[in-house]
Every structure is written in C-alpha cells, then in structure tokens.
Amino acid sequence: MLTVPEAARRIGRNPETVRRWIRAGKLRSTKAGTQHMIDERDLPSTRSSDLLPMPPQWSRTRRGDPLPEDILELLDAVREGR
C-alpha cells in the first residue's frame, strides 16, 4: 500500500492529480485515518505508448523545425535523469 505522495512519485504525477483521480472514482483507495492508501496494482500505467497521440499542431517547434519522432521517450528519459 502506498500513500498519495508515494503513488504520485511512482507514476511521475503530481499528488493533487492522484487525489483528483481518487475523488473522481478513477483510482481506488482505502482510507487509513485521514490518509488515502493505494494498492500498487491499482496504479495506472504511465508508459508513453499509453498516451494519446500528440496533436498535429504540436509537431513543430516555435522556429518551425520538426520535433523528433521519439519526443515522448526523450522527455521520459529526461524526467528519469538518464
């Protein structure tokens, strides 16, 4: 069982996003006192391949250069510190 901040770190999201998912019924949790506890198996996947495709208008930089095809993987790598 994970607390909201632990779950948020695990999936790379903001704790408030996790709390919104709980309130909206998108993520199951159990209350322990005032704290929500989340089972690891209930955490959503955060792989880039699970995301919606990027809108076409976001395919170019401000200068008009095309973005790399693997931009989402590059962003994931930067976030992980690789």
Q: Between vectors from CA 27 to CA 19 and to CA 8, what angle results, nearest 5°?
A: 50
Q: Averaged over 8-15, what is the pLDDT?
A: 87
* Shared domain check, 55 and 37: no
* Shared domain check, 18 and 36: yes
pLDDT in tens, 41-78: 888 765 555 556 767 777 788 888 888 777 777 877 88
Domain assignment of residue 17, given as a range = 2-42
How many domains does the chain contain in total?
2
What pLDDT score does 76 carry?
78
* Shared domain check, 52 and 34: no
Q: Averaged over 22-39, what is the pLDDT?
A: 91
In this model, does residue 27 exceed pLDDT 70? yes
Strands (E), 1-82: 2-3, 30-32, 35-38
> How far is 21 from 31, CA to CA, in rounded Å?
15
* Shared domain check, 54 and 32: no
What pLDDT score does 51 carry?
59
Buried b / exposed e across 38-71, counting CB within 10 Å, b at 16+? beeeebeeeeeeeeeeeeeeeeeeeeeeeeeeee
* Shared domain check, 56 and 38: no
* pTM tops 0.85, yes or no: no
